[in-house]
Amino acid sequence: MVPPVFFTLGAGRGIVAGHETRGRHRRKAGNRLLVLALGLFLFISLHLLRELGWRKALIARFGLGPYKGGVSLAVILSIIVIALGKGNASFIQVWVPPFSLRSITHLLMISSCILVVAGSLPNSYTRELIGHPMLIGVIVWGFAHLLSNGDLASLLLFGTIGLWALFKIFSLEFGQGRRADVKSERKASLIWDGAAIVIGMIAYMLLLVFHGPLFGFALVAFI
C-alpha cells in the first residue's frame, strides 16, 4: 500500500505543474498581443507623421519620392505584423456579442466599403457632404467588427484603428495636421457616387466570400 504522503506530494506536484502551464500560456498570450500592439503602433505612427511634424522634415531630407516609397514599405510591414499578431493571438473573451448583431454588422460593412471607395474617387457628392468618407468608413468598419467580436485581440485591433481614424478627422479639421481648403475646379458628379456604390458592393461581396481564406474566419459556408 502506498503511504498517503506520496499521494499528497503527487497532488502538490500536479498543482504546481498546472500553475506553471497556465503561467506559460499567459506569457505566450501576452507576447502575441504585444506583436499586434507593435504592428498597430507602427501603422498609426506612420499615419500621424503630419501631426507629429516629421513629414516635412523627412521630405526635405530625403525627397518626396523616397519618402513616399519608404512610408509605403513601412505601412506594408506594419500590416504584416498586425496580421501575424492578430492571427496568432490567443482567444481571450471579454464579452459575448449577441448573434442578433451580425446582421447589423453586415449592413455597416456595406456602408463602410462604399465610404472607403468614395474616399478614393474624385468629386462625388459623398465626398462633398461628408468631407472624409474614407476615414469615416474606417470608423464604421471598426465599429461593425466590435459588434461581432468580443475577444481582446479584436477589441485592440478594431478599437485602436477606429479611434485613430476619429483622431485623424479632428486633426485634419481643427488641429495642426489640417489641410488648407482647396476648392476643386471640377464639380461633383453623381457618376462618382454611383461608381462608389457599385465598386463598394463588389468589394463587400469579395470580402464576404474570401473572408475565411484571408482572415481565418469564414462568413459563407462554401469557402
More confident residue, 91 or 176: 91
* Band of residue 20 on the pLDDT scale cut at 50, 70, 90: low
Beta pairing partners, 93: 151
Which pLDDT belongs to residue 161?
Answer: 97
Average pLDDT over residues 191-208: 95
Q: What is the mean pLDDT of the chain?
A: 84
Percentage of the chain lying above the pLDDT 70 cut: 80
At residue 178, does pLDDT exceed 90?
no
Is the confidence at residue 84, as pLDDT, over 60?
A: yes
pLDDT, position 6:
45
Please name the amino acid found at residue 26.
R
According to the model, what pLDDT value does residue 17 have? Answer: 47
pLDDT of amino acid 168:
94
Give pLDDT, residue 220. Answer: 76
Q: How far apart are CA 175 and CA 57, in angstroms?
A: 19
- What is the rounded average pLDDT of the residues 46-57? 92
Once rounded to an integer, what is the mean pLDDT over residues 160-167? 96
Long-range contacts of 79-84 (CB under 8 A, 24+ apart): 79/39, 79/43, 80/39, 81/35, 81/36, 81/38, 81/39, 81/42, 82/36, 82/39, 82/40, 82/43, 82/157, 83/39, 84/35, 84/39
Kindly state the average pLDDT of the residues 91-107: 91
- Long-range Cβ pairs for the range 157-164 (8 Å, 24+): 157/36, 157/40, 157/82, 157/86, 160/40, 160/44, 161/40, 161/43, 161/44, 162/138, 164/44, 164/47, 164/48
The mean pLDDT of 80-95, rounded to a whole number, is 91
Mean pLDDT of 37-52: 94
Distance CA 53, CA 175 (A): 12
Rounded to an integer, the average pLDDT of 33-55 is: 94
Percent helix, strand, coil in the chain, to 5, is: 80, 0, 20
Residue 196 in this model has a pLDDT that exceeds 90: yes
138: left (phi over 0), alpha (psi -120 to 50) or beta: alpha
pLDDT at 16 over 50: no
Write out the three cell numbers for 8. Answer: 499528497
pLDDT, position 212? 79
Angle in degrees, 0-180, between the axes of helices 190-215 and 102-120, rounded to the nearest 10: 130
Band of pLDDT at residue 223, cut at 50, 70 and 90? very low
- Please report, rounded to a whole number, the percentage of residues in the chain having pLDDT higher than 90: 59
Mean pLDDT of 39-64: 93
